[in-house]
């Protein structure tokens, strides 16, 4: 896609804000011809498209004074220390401008962006004003969006599916499906993604993924957009297209703030304003075209034929000495000076007090009802479930293959009185399969889903409770199906008693173990990284195996360790499946004539392993309690995780 900006994209902000528009729910579609026009090139064919979605409210002017941020460093087993990242910075980001926050690595760019967007709220002091009034964070989040550096997209959904899910979650229920389709088509056409509608997100190029990330947040037409390193991982052409698109969106009256490390001269010229940080302090704020004059005024002129963007990063990195940095900080008064702004006579004197939405912190953050959120999230979840090779098809395949292997290894062990111990080993092996398969799948895959959850939840797509409920409900059918498939194959091949009641008890015990293990994996996966979770999950399961009564029977456990049997869900699972096979007053087992059958009487076997045959209902209650507690625990961990990251 080649983006060509017409003269309309360079007109002063006031002209673009005067465009007449017609509202569609929370969006607006203009009926004038003064909007920016793009040229979209696909397979050599060009067609004109017009981006008509103007902001539906007055522009937003952001001011911040004396912003300080102190980070707490150190892990669970390390001494915690505090480090100050930002040191009383000030600034102003007016509407209608594409603004860059620049600086060397560690200067505090992303930190400032996170604070201004409301993403970071802990360790922050200072004042943020919106249109001249103290910012109400809830109201501000309703009219803004935050696009992360990495493209957190649903990889298994197509571009069109991603957009429709976003529209159904981010637009009011008063917006009809036809109006949503118009908005989606216009956004995709503008961003050059129309020809990728049926392409899954995982098959897009880097530039297309970045544009799709922007498109998803444009659905509800935000007044303020924050982007963390939007050009990272893109080639020069894609970078230019991305920034030019953002400039057009800014010209329509939006406030767009990006962090960028070190742009080329051509990319640097696209920005209207630039805010430069060095070691958490502001050393320049103003127009890109005025930066060279600023260097002259401070007594450090930019060398001839030198890119000002490169030169300011060199200065901020103290390549020319700390004294120059201090002089620049003093010259711009740590961001208080507005002398070098691009349009001082038009921007700085503009009245930005007309937006009613700035003060509206009533109602929920989300645009739709919780019931609608659950419905849309479940629709998305089932689409992913149908296409997921690991969580669905590989999981089904593993259950079939493992069941056939165990069935062959323990063929007819359930009816042979001489193989009771072997059959007992089989029952425990079955529980190990039901424990590790769902637990490890969750630990390995949920951290990836968590990154998407953090972005979408912060941008008000849905509430955490509805997301969590949808995850719980979506996985139930597949878990039940896999468990039933596995149980049926193993149960029949190993010659367990063909009795409906016994099979039901066996299946219910196995299924509840699957639910508990999956919930345990969710707790671990929600808190720990993939590496740490992969280590801790199996390690924490070992004590549960020991206290389950396998290897060391429950009656042989020392008194001071017996409490462990009550916190091991495997103990109740094992008791349930053993009771299903050898309980219910099972008759004497068949014993081959040439074999000694020590446990041909099932009652004797149950006594030796200290399993009571009439505990099935208690086992079910215990497993359900484990499932419920771990599910609630996983939700608490997710809430803590989301809060701690802010």
Cα three-residue angle 595-599-604, rounded to 5 degrees: 160
Residue found under tokens 């006579």: 345
Return d(Cα 145, Cα 455) in angstroms, integer. Answer: 10
Report d(CA 37, CA 45) in Å as an integer.
Answer: 16
**pLDDT tens by residue, 58-85:** 788 999 999 999 888 766 556 778 888 9
> How many other C-beta atoms are found inside a 10 Å radius of the C-beta of residue 203?
12
Tell me, what's the pLDDT at 353? 53
What string of DSSP letters covers 620-645? HHHHHHHHHHHHHHHHHHHHHHHHHT
Q: 152: Cβ–Cβ under 8 A, 6 or more apart, which residues?
A: 213, 451, 452, 454, 455, 456
- Which domains are seen in the chain, by residue range? 7-359 (3.40.50.300), 410-644 (no CATH)
70-128: pLDDT as tens digits: 888 766 556 778 888 999 999 999 888 899 999 998 888 999 999 999 888 888 999 99
> What is the chain's alpha carbon radius of gyration, rounded to the nearest angstrom?
31
Q: At what angle do helices 322-331 and 291-298 cross, to 10 degrees?
A: 110
At residue 7 the predicted structure's pLDDT band, cuts being 50, 70 and 90, is very low
Q: Which two tokens stand for residue 493?
A: 């091949």
pLDDT tens-digit readout, 133-181: 899 888 898 889 999 888 889 999 999 999 999 999 999 888 899 999 9
Q: What is the pLDDT of residue 505?
A: 94
How many other β-carbons are positioned within 10 Å of the β-carbon of residue 342? Answer: 18
Q: Return the residue matching tokens 């689409």.
A: 383
Q: What does the angle CA 406 – CA 411 – CA 413 come to, to the nearest 5 degrees?
A: 105
Q: How confident is the model at residue 418 (pLDDT cuts 50, 70, 90)?
A: confident
State the average pLDDT over residues 639-645.
Answer: 85
Distance CA 545, CA 538 (A): 10
Convert the pLDDT of each residue in 328-377 to its tens digit: 999 999 989 888 887 655 555 555 555 556 666 667 788 899 999 999 99
**CA–CA distance, 128 with 119 (Å, rounded to integer):** 13
> Which segments of 171-288 does DSSP mark as H helices, in order?
177-190, 206-218, 236-251, 265-270
- 493-544 residue pLDDT tens: 999 998 899 999 999 999 999 999 999 999 999 998 888 999 999 999 988 8
Any residues with CB less than 8 A from the CB of 456 and at least 6 apart, and which?
Answer: 152, 462
- Identify the pLDDT of residue 438: 92
Q: Which long-range CB contacts under 8 A does 396-404 form with residues at least 24 apart? A: 396/481, 396/482, 396/485, 398/437, 399/437, 399/482, 399/483, 399/485, 399/486, 400/485, 400/486, 400/489, 402/433, 402/437, 402/486, 403/485, 403/486, 403/489, 403/490, 403/493, 404/489, 404/493
Strand stretches in 212-346, DSSP E: 224-228, 255-259, 273-278, 281-287
**Residue 429 CA, distance from chain mean position:** 35
The 10s digit of each residue's pLDDT in 587-627 is 888 888 777 788 888 888 888 888 887 888 999 999 999 99
pTM, full prediction: 0.83
**How many other C-beta atoms lie within 10 A of the C-beta of residue 418?**
18
| Residue with tokens 């199996």, as numbered in its chain | 538
CA distance 243 to 228: 13
* % of the chain with per-residue pLDDT over 90: 45
Contact yes or no for 463/369 (Cβ under 8 A) = no
Of the pLDDT bands very low, low, confident and very high (cuts 50, 70, 90), residue 216 is very high
**In terms of C-beta density within 10 A (0-12 exposed, 13-18 middle, 19 or more buried), how is residue 61 classed?**
buried
d(CA 221, CA 170) in angstroms, rounded, equals: 10
């Amino acid at each position: 896609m080649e983006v060509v900006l017409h003269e309309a994209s360079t007109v002063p902000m006031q002209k673009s804000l005067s465009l007449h528009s017609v509202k569609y729910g929370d969006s607006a579609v203009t009926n004038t011809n003064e909007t920016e026009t793009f040229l979209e090139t696909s397979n050599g064919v060009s067609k004109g498209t017009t981006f008509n979605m103007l902001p539906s409210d007055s522009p937003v002017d952001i001011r911040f004074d004396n912003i300080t941020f102190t980070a707490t460093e150190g892990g669970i087993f390390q001494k915690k220390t505090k480090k100050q990242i930002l040191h009383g910075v000030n600034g102003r980001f007016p509407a209608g401008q594409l603004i860059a926050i620049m600086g060397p690595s560690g200067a505090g760019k992303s930190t400032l962006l996170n604070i201004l967007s409301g993403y970071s709220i802990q360790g922050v002091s200072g004042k943020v004003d919106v249109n001249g009034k103290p910012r109400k964070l809830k109201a501000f989040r309703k009219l803004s969006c935050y696009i992360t550096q990495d493209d957190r997209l649903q990889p298994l959904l197509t571009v069109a599916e991603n957009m429709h899910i976003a529209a159904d979650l981010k637009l009011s229920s008063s917006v009809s499906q036809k109006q949503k389709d118009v908005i989606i088509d216009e956004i995709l056409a503008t961003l050059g993604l129309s020809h990728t509608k049926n392409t899954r997100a995982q098959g897009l190029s880097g530039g297309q993924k970045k544009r799709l990330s922007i498109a998803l947040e444009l659905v509800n037409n935000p007044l303020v957009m924050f982007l963390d390193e939007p050009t990272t991982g893109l080639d020069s052409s894609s970078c230019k297209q991305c920034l030019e698109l953002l400039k057009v969106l800014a010209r329509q009256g939006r406030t767009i703030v990006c962090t960028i490390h070190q742009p080329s001269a051509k990319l640097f010229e696209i920005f209207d304003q630039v805010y430069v940080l060095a070691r958490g302090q502001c050393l320049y704020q103003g127009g890109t075209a005025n930066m060279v004059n600023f260097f002259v005024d401070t007594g450090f002129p930019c060398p001839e034929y030198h890119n000002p963007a490169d030169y300011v990063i060199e200065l901020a990195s103290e390549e020319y000495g700390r004294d120059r940095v201090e002089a620049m900080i003093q010259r711009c008064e740590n961001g208080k000076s507005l002398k070098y702004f691009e349009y001082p006579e038009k921007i700085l004197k503009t009245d930005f007090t007309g937006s009613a939405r700035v003060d509206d912190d009533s109602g929920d953050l989300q645009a739709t009802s919780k019931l609608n959120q659950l419905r849309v999230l479940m629709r998305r979840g089932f689409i992913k479930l149908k296409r997921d090779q690991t969580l669905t098809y590989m999981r089904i395949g593993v259950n079939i293959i493992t069941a056939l292997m165990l069935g062959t290894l323990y063929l007819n062990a359930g009816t042979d009185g001489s193989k009771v111990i072997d059959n007992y080993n089989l029952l425990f092996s079955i529980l190990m399969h039901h424990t590790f398969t769902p637990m490890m799948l969750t630990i390995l895959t949920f951290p990836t889903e968590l990154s998407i959850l953090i972005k979408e939840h912060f941008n008000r797509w849905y509430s955490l409770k509805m997301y969590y409920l949808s995850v719980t409900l979506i996985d139930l059918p597949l878990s039940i199906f896999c468990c039933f498939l596995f149980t049926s194959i193993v149960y029949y091949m190993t010659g367990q008693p063909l009795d409906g009641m016994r099979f039901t008890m066996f299946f219910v015990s196995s299924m509840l173990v699957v639910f508990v293990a999956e919930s345990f994996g969710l707790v671990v996966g929600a808190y720990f990284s993939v590496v740490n979770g992969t280590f801790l999950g199996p390690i924490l399961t070992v004590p549960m195996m020991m206290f389950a009564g396998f290897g060391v029977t429950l009656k042989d456990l020392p008194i001071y360790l017996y409490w462990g049997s009550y916190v091991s869900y495997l103990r109740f699972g094992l008791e349930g499946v053993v009771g299903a096979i050898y309980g219910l007053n099972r008759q004497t087992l068949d014993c081959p004539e040439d074999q000694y059958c020590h446990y041909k009487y099932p009652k004797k076997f149950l006594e030796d392993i200290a399993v009571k045959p009439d505990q099935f209902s208690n086992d079910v209650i215990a497993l359900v309690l484990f499932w419920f507690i771990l599910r609630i625990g996983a939700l608490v961990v997710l809430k803590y995780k989301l809060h701690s990251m802010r």
